[in-house]
Amino acid sequence: MIEFLQQLLNGLSLGAIYALIALGYTMVYGVLRFINFAHSDVFMVGAFVGYYLGRCVPAGTFWGASVVLVGAMASCAVLGMTIERLAYRPLRGAPTLNVLITAIGVSLLLEYSGQVFFGAAPRSFPPVVPSAQLSLGGLVLSSNQLVVILGTAALMWALRLVVLRTRIGMAMRAVSLNPQAARLVGVNNDIIISFTFGLGSALAGAGGVLYAINYPSIDPLMGVMPGLKAFVCAVLGGIGNIPGAALGGLILGTTETFVGGSSWSTYKDAIAFAVLILILLLRPGGLLGRPTIEKV
Amino acid sequence: MIALPRLHLLLLILGSASLCLRAQETVRIGEFASLTGKEAAFGQSSHKGTVLAIEKLNAGGGLLGRKVELFTEDNQSKPGESTTAVRKLISRNKIVALLGEVASSRSLEAAPIAQGAHIPMVSPSSTNPEVTQRGPYIFRVCFIDPFQGAVLAKFAFNSLHAHRVGVLSSVSSAYSVGLAKYFAEPYVAAGGVIAIAQKYSEGDKDFKAQLTAIRAAGVDAIFVPGYYTEAALIAKQARELGLTIPLFGGDGWEAPQLLEIGGTAVEGCYYSTHYSPEDPAPLVQQFVQAFQARWGGEMPDAMAALGYDSALMLADAIKRAGSTDGARIRDALAATKGFAGVTGTTSMDADRNASKAAVIVVIKDGRFQFLESVAP
Amino acid sequence: MPKAHLALCAALAVCFGGWWFSDRIDPYLLDVITGVGINIILAVSLNLVNGYTGQFSLGHAGFMAIGAYLSGACTIFLGPHLLGPDGGNGWSQGTLFLGALLVGGLCASVAGLLIGVPSLRLKGDYLALVTLGFGEIIRVIFQNTESLGGALGLSPIPAYTNIFWTYGFVALAVFVVVCLTRSTYGRGFLATRDDEIAAEAIGLDTTRYKIVAFVIGAFFAGVAGGLYGHFKQSIYPTGFDFTKSIEIVVMVILGGMGNTLGVILAAILLTALPEMLRPIAEYRMVLYSFLLIVLMLARPQGLFNFRWRGAKSVV
């Protein structure tokens, strides 16, 4: 029983990080109808920015951790908006295949430039948050896991506020519903799309820092697997659907953890892809999504 | 790290230039290593040791009255690249002998090529026994995994008094799979019980699932026969789950990043390796000082020491052979007895493996500390 | 005899001649030339799926892996039984090799069928990710299969690959793809790519065309994998990952999707160039990715696509 609960806890914290990254995927898909492959590498950049900032601030202080988090989020937002401006906006009217290939190109560029500049060897992320263990019965909760779960929940709640309670959030929803109509009512699509990218990338940056706090070994290819799995979470929950991303993250995180703790642990990575294939075959709209009608 | 490839470019240009000017006048030795990519840390380390050895040889008058020229090719830690690199070294650079590689899988790739061309190959630190089985031209200057596994099994059972052990090995690295197997056999034969065996993949960051299962199995110690990249995180997460039992592993643990990433979590953990820079023997201390002087104060690790020894053992064989003919060098290598190296006294056994002692290192006070030496 | 068949026979004769004189060539150069041949087969087969039929597949390395492992298993495990204790002569070895390659290719095409069927409903991004997922699943399966070496990889595989086999299959692959695309199947592929719904509306069975493209593309990828295995003599699951698939995709995009000649030129360029640029090998992938982006922004029809097809689209 204890083991089951412990695994559940592990799955929750893993799922929280996947959910955070998945939010970025789902938001961008909602407004632009394409999968931003480079998202997982923005996540990696966030972790590295956090690494450099973390070495400048004193370890274990609240304001130090905040500087690291905010700094990573801000720089990732800028990076995301730059990528959008330079690589995706010129292809706004082009077939989706072109944009997809460009996205793959940007993703690879970030990964391999990272390897050239930072070196491929992993680095140790500085301990910006003090680590402690809480023991309840046989259950051990690490403070890092707590930070991740609470941090993710806070960021998701903040996102929900932005999307549902602000004018810019309303504009985002309008553009994702019908871009032409949004333009007709006076929404500047370019600015909204930039903003969406910035917001999604900021969340990826936050995810990078939280991930690095929990697994303090960062390297330029660290985003590949978590990014792919987060994408699966987004699809699982229904792409374009924000609570869906959170739900997808939870489900995949716990499933992966339970498989990882069993004798089938080597197939852990394959699980994510198997889930993707199953969901796309059985219910392409995702668990919380609605089937879309394609007009020809 | 970025400056180094330009050094190779310089070396290559100088090498080819000197080739044009004074053809056949140098003793050409080839080296293939993972200078970039995932295992760049090991490849760079080994390369630095080799370069130091070659420079020492040339400072002492070279080999057979000629200068020694080192040709280095990078395989980017990728499978499939070593074969092309070695073919190039053999047919374009006309090497007489080959040094490489650190990783068993890449040595296995290149061995058939070297064997087929009758070019003696000396691996500095590939520990999988299959490497030298590829042919009589393939040698290694380090011990093999069956020996390392037996050393660790005895250490775990007798010194750590761990009679129930959990094994957490990588499923994607040949080294890890091999070492886990060669530990299991002698450990179980000595009376130990492997209560649980969990697996992970290289590049994984989260091991809580596997560690939780290990915790539930109630073991005295955890064997982690993988590389430092994962071992450090495994130790950290084990401590986060409340596990205070020691972890131990093999020579893949040795890198400064283990201490950086692992921090206090790796205190009181053990691993086996080929040498310790704390060894007071004058040969070792001279090497450490020369290395630090050449490479800006960097402390040489086991890979650097083995890279150094592999080059010097090869040079010793060429001297004894008296020629650069492949077959003669091969015979001289096979006859190596009592070669005094930095990593211990090396003798080639019948399988062209080195019969030498292993060193157990403990991590205490944030440093690698020499614990004991285990003779074969 | 139709012109195409004559061309194929001539090409095979040239390959045989090439092999006859191959020991006069510098082994390193031979190594590069063989690598070029294998990459041409991979690129041309992927071009059939991605370029002509518009099914963006990112899992081609998975088919290559199946071909490599299964043909390697044939020669390693069945070889000693079939060839006898002395290893057999050139003819028997050649027959065994051909058989092993065909086995690898056929198993890969079965996998192509299994992957093609579910992906029928998926478009663009989703298809790319599902094929990526399949490629990764195949890699994980091989990593966990102890009888095929697992993480240690499968080795030593006998070195049967030579110029004749490699370029013989290059000629065969190009022949099949060119003949296919110039037939009614070719029209079907293009129609499926250009507008699937319109094609369905006029009564074309797009399902059949997609599956045929996957199966044939997978077959040749499997053969290329077999050639690769017997060329490098040892194969590892990590050598057939997403990065390998991307390398092949870059060749197809550089050459121009749906342009066989362009893809062949791109494969030659992208195999020979890294060898010439050995000193800056660590910047290779950075250059590749930069090239992809610039190409998509400036010349999406590919570098070697000299037929101006009007609007700047990839296809």
Confidence at residue B304, expressed as pLDDT on a 0 to 100 scale:
92
φ/ψ bin of B70: left (φ > 0), alpha (ψ from -120 to 50), beta (otherwise): beta
A218 — phi, psi (to 5°)?
-115, 140
Chain A residues in contact with chain C using a Cβ-Cβ cutoff of 8 Å: 34-35, 87, 90-91, 94-102, 104-109, 111-113, 115-116, 224, 228, 231, 235, 266-267, 269-270, 272-274, 276-277, 280-281, 284, 296
Report how far residue C314's alpha carbon sits from residue B164's, in angstroms, rounded to the nearest whole number.
Answer: 61
A181 pLDDT more than 60? yes
Confidence at residue A53, expressed as pLDDT on a 0 to 100 scale:
92
More reliable by pLDDT, C128 or A59: C128
More reliable by pLDDT, C166 or A62: C166
- Per-block mean pLDDT, blocks of 10 residues, chain C (315 long): 82 84 83 93 94 87 95 90 76 89 95 85 79 88 86 83 90 92 89 87 89 93 95 89 87 87 92 81 81 86 66 48
Report how far residue C136's alpha carbon sits from residue B77's, in angstroms, rounded to the nearest whole number.
Answer: 20
Q: Please say whether the dihedral angle defined by the alpha carbons of residues B115, B120, B124 and B130, taken in this order, is positive or negative.
A: positive
What is the pairing mode between strands B358-364 and B270-273? antiparallel
Q: Which of C261, C7, C22, C25 is nearest to C164 (CA)?
A: C22
Q: Which of C55, C115, C123, C125 to mutate to test the interface with A (most CBs of A within 10 A)?
A: C125
- Give me the count of residues in chain A: 296
Fold of B3-143+280-357: Rossmann fold (3.40.50)
Contacts of A104 in chain C (CB under 8 A): 246, 249, 292
Domain boundaries, chain B: 3-143+280-357, 145-273
CA C130 to mean position of chain CA atoms: 19
Structure tokens at A129: 């948050």
- Identify the closest residue of chain B to A112 by CA–CA distance: B37
The predicted-structure confidence for A17-52, as pLDDT tens digits, reads as follows 899 899 888 888 888 888 888 999 999 999 999 999
Confidence at residue A27, expressed as pLDDT on a 0 to 100 scale:
86
Structure tokens at B270: 């053990």
Contacts of C143 in chain B (CB under 8 A): 171-172, 201
Residues of chain B with confidence (pLDDT) below 50: 1-2, 19-23
Confidence at residue A296, expressed as pLDDT on a 0 to 100 scale:
62
**pTM for the predicted model, two decimal places:** 0.86
Task: Using a CB–CB cutoff of 8 Å, tell me whether B39 touches chain C.
Answer: no
Q: How far apart are the first and last CA of chain B?
A: 37
User: How many angstroms separate the Cα of A184 from the Cα of each of A81, A171, A195, B343?
Assistant: 24, 12, 19, 76
Confidence at residue A35, expressed as pLDDT on a 0 to 100 scale:
83
Assign 3-state DSSP to chain B and report helix, strand, coil percentages, each to 5.
Answer: 50, 20, 35
- The answer to whether the CB atoms of A104 and C253 lie below 8 A apart is no
- Give the one of A112, A266, A272 whose C-beta lies nearest to C144's C-beta: A266
Confidence at residue C168, expressed as pLDDT on a 0 to 100 scale:
92
Q: How far apart are the first and last CA of chain C?
A: 33
Kindly state the DSSP code that residue B243 receives in the 8-state scheme: -
- Give the one of C128, C286, C300 whose C-beta lies nearest to A116's C-beta: C286
The predicted-structure confidence for B62-97, as pLDDT tens digits, reads as follows 888 889 999 999 888 888 889 989 999 998 899 999
Report how far residue C309's alpha carbon sits from residue C312's, in angstroms, rounded to the nearest whole number.
Answer: 7
Please name the residues in contact with A171: beta carbons below 8 A apart, sequence gap of 6 or more. A182, A187, A192
Domain boundaries, chain C: 3-298
More reliable by pLDDT, A265 or B272: B272
- The answer to whether the CB atoms of C296 and A102 lie below 8 A apart is yes
Report how far residue B358's alpha carbon sits from residue B360's, in angstroms, rounded to the nearest whole number.
Answer: 7
Report how far residue B125's alpha carbon sits from residue C43's, in angstroms, rounded to the nearest whole number.
Answer: 37
Structure tokens at B244: 């205070």
CA B61 to mean position of chain CA atoms: 28
Structure tokens at A272: 């994510």
Distance from CA of B74 to the nearest CA of C (A): 8
Confidence at residue C311, expressed as pLDDT on a 0 to 100 scale:
42
Q: Hey, how many other C-beta atoms are within 10 angstroms of the C-beta on C105? A: 26
Q: Please tell me if the domain spanning B3-143+280-357 has the same topology as the one spanning B145-273.
A: yes
Fold of B145-273: Rossmann fold (3.40.50)
Contacts of B236 in chain A (CB under 8 A): 216
Confidence at residue B57, expressed as pLDDT on a 0 to 100 scale:
92
A294 pLDDT more than 70? no
A: neighbours with 3+ CB pairs under 8 Å? B, C
CA-based diameter of chain A, in Å? 60
Assign 3-state DSSP to chain A and report helix, strand, coil percentages, each to 5.
Answer: 75, 5, 20
Average pLDDT, chain B: 88
Residue pairs between chains A and C whose CB atoms are closer than 8 Å: 114
Report how far residue B209's alpha carbon sits from residue B369's, in angstroms, rounded to the nearest whole number.
Answer: 31
- The answer to whether the CB atoms of A225 and B40 lie below 8 A apart is no
CA C299 to mean position of chain CA atoms: 24
Spell out the CATH class of C3-298. mainly alpha
Average pLDDT, chain A: 87
Distance from CA of B216 to the nearest CA of C (A): 25
Contacts of B87 in chain C (CB under 8 A): 27-28, 31
Residues pairing with C229 in the sheet:
none
Cβ A140 vs Cβ B240: under 8 Å: yes
Q: Map tokens 């150069």 to a residue.
A: C29
Distance from CA of A140 to the nearest CA of B (A): 6
Distance from CA of A30 to the nearest CA of B (A): 30
CA B136 to mean position of chain CA atoms: 21
Confidence at residue B21, expressed as pLDDT on a 0 to 100 scale:
46
Q: How far apart are the first and last CA of chain A?
A: 54
Q: Provide the Cα torsion B243, B246, B251, B254; round to 10°.
A: 70
Question: b or e along A233-265 (b: 16 or more beta carbons within 10 Å of the residue's beta carbon)?
Answer: bbbbbbbbbbebbbbbbbbbbbbbbbbbbeeeb
Cβ A69 vs Cβ A152: under 8 Å: no
Q: How many helices and strands (H and E) does chain B possess?
A: 12, 14
Task: Using a CB–CB cutoff of 8 Å, tell me whether C88 touches chain A.
Answer: no
The complex scores an ipTM of: 0.82
The predicted-structure confidence for A91-119, as pLDDT tens digits, reads as follows 887 877 788 889 989 999 999 899 888 88
- Give the one of C140, C141, C296 whose C-beta lies nearest to A101's C-beta: C296
Residues pairing with B362 in the sheet:
B270, B369
Q: Which of A50, A39, A83 is nearest to A233 (CA)?
A: A39
Contacts of B84 in chain C (CB under 8 A): 28, 31-32, 35, 275
